[in-house]
Structure 1
Amino acid sequence: MYLLFPGRHHVLTAYQADFLREAAPAGTTVVWAVTSSNHHTTKRNPIPFDRREAAIERFSMATGLRSLVVGVTDTPPTDDFAEVTVKAIEAGTDDAVRLSPENTVVACSTPEVAKLYERLGYQVIGVEPEGVARPWDVLLMIAAGNDEWRSLAHPATVDVFDRYRLDAQVRRCVNDPVVGDDGGLTTTRDYKTYADAFETAADRKWAQIKDFVRPGRILDIGCATGATLQLVDGDPRFHESDLIGVEVARHLYAECVHKKEQRFFDNPNVYFYQRNMLGAAVFPPRSIDTTLTLALTHEIWSYADGSRAETVQRFVDGLFAHTAPGGVWINSDVCGPAEPDRPVVLALDDSDGVNAEPVELESLADPAAHVRTLSTRARFFQFAQDFRRNARVPFAYTLQGRHPVLRLADAMDFLTRKDYADNWLSETHEQFCGLSFADWTTIAQSAGFTLDPSSKPWRNNWVITNRIAPVASLTTPDGDPVDWPDTHQLLIARRS
């Protein structure tokens, strides 16, 4: 006979031990279906499967239960959840365990999930009655720093949490202001598009920065798919260096781990962390020789919790703290124009698509398809609506005839993003032009860095020539042409 116990099982409680002793008499095997087993370091699933499995095994030994632990891969919400779980157990035990309503009782306290098993004919018994703390309640106590969790959790969980410092990991994941429930920056981001873009741009970015990289411990923050570290790995100058990638988005981090497993790297000293660098320090003081931030710092600015300026300064202060004497921070990213508040008139093509009014894109089945139909001018007004809401910026403009009049920085924020239809809703959370190169220089110097003379703002002329100039122009309110401003920066910051 089997007792099926589905759940995420991040925390095991003392109450569950008493319950299972009663519900699983001699001869019964408790089948722990650990759901979302492929997720970890997210708000919804902060604890890795191997740590959860270790606690369950210790719990089973302490309580005298005969247990089987099977990981169930995360699935989108589905009415077939119960059937999927039963099949996953069959596959996870090589068909040695076949659950059926005739040989299995299900233990579950979530009414919606219980109904799915009942629909298949299983008898379901509740676990925690009203008034008893459930595992997620205990986990939230850990996240809040409330030590009462120790009196509610089973000693097996307490032991594993203490040995692996999982309480700190729970606090970091659950309280993270940037990362969503499933480990992404936004729920609308198409990570395949992002991954493809990072892979394509890696060679160009490496050519720009490679002469400034110092051997030793080389850290790539926001490493995406690990493409840049692959190029570092292929450079003989760095064959004895440690290569370290930090990526906050679960989807991209998983690709980094996959590459390492598939031996994309020759250097054995390649390590990946899934971590938000805005939290506690990840690396010891003065321990990193080169830090790379490629297409990252505008995200630090955009997703800041509270004061954006203070968040960015705190981030750069942290970079300086972990940089070794003689080390370098290399920042390649977008930036705002030198005169962000300069008023400009933005003339936009209205013949290259449909001139529709802004809509609520979230209500559409395919927002990207709608954006692609819009003219450049119509995209401006759609962008204004979405950018104000998602990026929490004023984006003020008036009309001079049919043409918007606005800040130069705001005009460039639109022009540099107008073609990002696939990730429109995600991209409108981000502000490319929040800080100018002069602003980034001040931040780096305030942290203690000295700027290398090679540091500079620059203009992506390919984008201007091929994407922007054919459909847009800038003039002063008096009608004088305005040159296209710088769009990017290369900042080489050294610690003496």
Structure 2
Amino acid sequence: MGLPPRFVLFPGRHHLLTRFQADYLGRLARSDGTTIVWAVTSANHDNTRRNPVPYHRREAAIERFSVLTGLRSLVVPVFDTAPTDAFAEVTLKTIAVATGLDLTPADTVVACSTPAVAKLYERIGFPIAQVEADAELDVVPERPWDVLLRLAGGDPTWRTLAHPATTDVFERYRLVEQVRSVVNDPLVGDEGGLTATRDYRTYVDAFTEAAERKWTAVRRHVQPGRIVDIGCGAGSVLELADREAALHESDLIGVEVARHLYQECVHKKAQGVFRNANVYFYQRNVLGGAIFADRSVDTTLTFALTHEIWSYGRQRESLLQFARRIHDHTVPGGVWINSDVCGPAERRRPVLLRLATEDGANPPAPRHDLAELSEGEVRRYVGGLSTRARLAQFAVDFAFPFEYEVVDEGSVRLELGSAMDYLTRKDYVDNWLSETREQFCGLSFDEWLDLLAEAGFEVDPASAPLRNDWVIDNRIAPVATLTDTDGRPLDWPDTHLLGIARRPLTEEP
């Protein structure tokens, strides 16, 4: 073995440090003059399955590791970028900007156990130390991510493999519970969202456009105090609440699970959009555990959220769990205001649905390979189908299977709930593969009332089923007609609900 390197570049997410890493880096450095340069990737991501620990906690653990091992360290955050073959060059430039160090193959060894990443550095001349993948090791050690999964799975042996620097920071900042909650979350994707196919720019625009209408509909029911908007999107409704003089003493709290939308909220706050000093945002999934203490919230707002909990969770079971969590954190006399889609009163009723065939292409059969296409290809293909052909495609892609019977070229027989699920979704071609994962008509309004009562709420008389007549008049009626099975015309059913649910002031023990 030659002279020890002047620098060891150690790129990685570094959510958890191991005893093996301490031993390996110590043998690799072999000198007080060697500096370990920790390039902490995905430093701008946290609270997701791939990145459950925020950067500042990772940095704290590395600094603690440096003190305990005597290894001189520099920690550099590397923000996430789109996949690129120039990843190594980007990382080196980031280090140069942050520290002034121009690492070269002559003075630096790259410590990396991921073959694909190691090749990127090897290609530009850097020698590689393979860490856990080192072929000369007698025993193959567990990688940090495997140790973290032990932690998430409740296996106490993670503590014997993790370095004391990690266990110390995890315990002091209660990260054990956080990691378990995020990694085991049944709804959140690897990157902190409900679905990987959603175009969040579209949703930010939609939330902004609809915010004033939503706020106008619920404002009179909002109780001052601690006001929480769960699934707050880009924070547009809270912007309007912030302008209300009567709420200037209230705390305004936004909770958003999708990383893209949460970051937009934080950006708005940093830019001074909110006048109220008591505006806070959290990236959390309410199903992952209680967010607020019992009896601590005066008003909870949810807009276009509950159908997602139904769709991505375990339908009614997950929705009831969600309702019970809201009931628990609501003060006696407090209110939960829910605005969302809902199913028609007679969801199971057989109906005849006649759909236009002349407004697009009518291929002989639907495709089964849309998931293999790009977003643009999916949008163009689905957008070019006739209303009738799009129903056939919807039946293939919809995550909640339903049956329909072909009556003639443009008519089908199916249940009313399935008909409305399609008709209220057929125009979402920009996010087709995301939208077809969600069910709008899982519960009727009366079924919603039963669920709220089961969760312990009292329903305010202001609660009501609603019909979006603009959607009916502009999107549905021009291309579809609805009749009973004998051909008699039917009125278009309700499409939405406004639920005002209160926790009783007095409750039985």
State TM-score, norm by structure 1.
Answer: 0.97
Q: How far apart, CA to CA, are the structure 1 residues paired with 2:286 and 2:234?
A: 17
Residue 363 (1) aligns with residue 372 (2): yes
Per the TM alignment, residue 79 of structure 1 is displaced from its structure 2 partner at its CA by: 2.1
Structure 2 SS opposite 1:278:
helix
Per the TM alignment, residue 465 of structure 1 is displaced from its structure 2 partner at its CA by: 0.4
RMSD: 1.1
Q: How far apart, CA to CA, are the structure 1 residues paired with 2:146 and 2:467?
A: 52
Contact 2:88–2:120 (CA under 8 A) maintained in structure 1 = yes
Structure 2 residue corresponding to 1:40, chosen from 46, 53, 60: 46
Give per-residue Cα distances to partners, 1:267-307, cap 9 Å, x unaligned: 11111111111121111111000000110011111011x4x
Structure 2 residue corresponding to 1:453, chosen from 449, 458, 461: 461
Name segments (4+ residues, structure 1) moved above 3 Å: none
Residue 225 (1) aligns with residue 234 (2): yes
Give per-residue Cα distances to partners, 1:239-262, cap 9 Å, x unaligned: 010111111111111111111111
Which residue matches 1:344? Answer: 351
1:341-490 maps to which residues of 2 (within 5 A)? 341-356=348-363, 357-359=365-367, 360-365=369-374, 366-387=377-398, 391=399, 393-402=400-409, 403-490=411-498
Residue 290 (1) aligns with residue 299 (2): yes
Please tell me the residue identity of whatever aligns with 2:290.
A
Give per-residue Cα distances to partners, 1:320-344, cap 9 Å, x unaligned: 1110011000000000000001111
Structure 2 residue corresponding to 1:107, chosen from 87, 111, 116: 111
Per the TM alignment, residue 312 of structure 1 is displaced from its structure 2 partner at its CA by: 1.1
Residue 315 (1) aligns with residue 319 (2): no
Structure 1 residue corresponding to 2:7, chosen from 2, 11, 20: 2
Contact 2:379–2:429 (CA under 8 A) maintained in structure 1 = yes
Structure 2 residue corresponding to 1:49, chosen from 17, 37, 55: 55
Residue 167 (1) aligns with residue 176 (2): yes
Please tell me the residue identity of whatever aligns with 2:382.
V
Contact 2:182–2:288 (CA under 8 A) maintained in structure 1 = no
Which residue matches 1:325? Answer: 332
Which residue matches 2:507? Answer: none
Give per-residue Cα distances to partners, 1:115-158, cap 9 Å, x unaligned: 11111100001112452111111100110011111111111111
Q: How far apart, CA to CA, are the structure 1 residues paired with 2:274 and 2:188?
A: 28
1:252-263 maps to which residues of 2 (within 5 A)? 252-263=261-272
Q: Which ranges in structure 1 are unaligned for 5 or more consecutive residues? A: none
Q: How far apart, CA to CA, are the structure 1 residues paired with 2:243 and 2:96?
A: 43
Per the TM alignment, residue 77 of structure 1 is displaced from its structure 2 partner at its CA by: 2.9
Structure 2 residue corresponding to 1:136, chosen from 142, 145, 149: 145
Please tell me the residue identity of whatever aligns with 2:105.
P
Q: How far apart, CA to CA, are the structure 2 residues paired with 1:133 and 1:77?
A: 26
Per the TM alignment, residue 375 of structure 1 is displaced from its structure 2 partner at its CA by: 1.2
Q: How far apart, CA to CA, are the structure 1 residues paired with 2:393 and 2:254?
A: 36
Q: How far apart, CA to CA, are the structure 2 residues paired with 1:252 and 1:15?
A: 38
Q: How far apart, CA to CA, are the structure 2 residues paired with 1:363 and 1:286?
A: 47
Structure 1 residue corresponding to 2:131, chosen from 103, 118, 127: 127
Which residue matches 2:3? Answer: none
Per the TM alignment, residue 394 of structure 1 is displaced from its structure 2 partner at its CA by: 2.4
Aligned residues: 488
Structure 1 SS opposite 2:490:
coil
Please tell me the residue identity of whatever aligns with 1:36.
S
Please tell me the residue identity of whatever aligns with 1:386.
D
State TM-score, norm by structure 2.
Answer: 0.94
Q: How far apart, CA to CA, are the structure 1 residues paired with 2:279 and 2:140?
A: 48
The percent of aligned pairs where both chains have the same amino acid is 63
Per the TM alignment, residue 26 of structure 1 is displaced from its structure 2 partner at its CA by: 2.2
Contact 2:395–2:401 (CA under 8 A) maintained in structure 1 = no
Structure 1 SS opposite 2:89:
helix
Structure 2 SS opposite 1:132:
coil
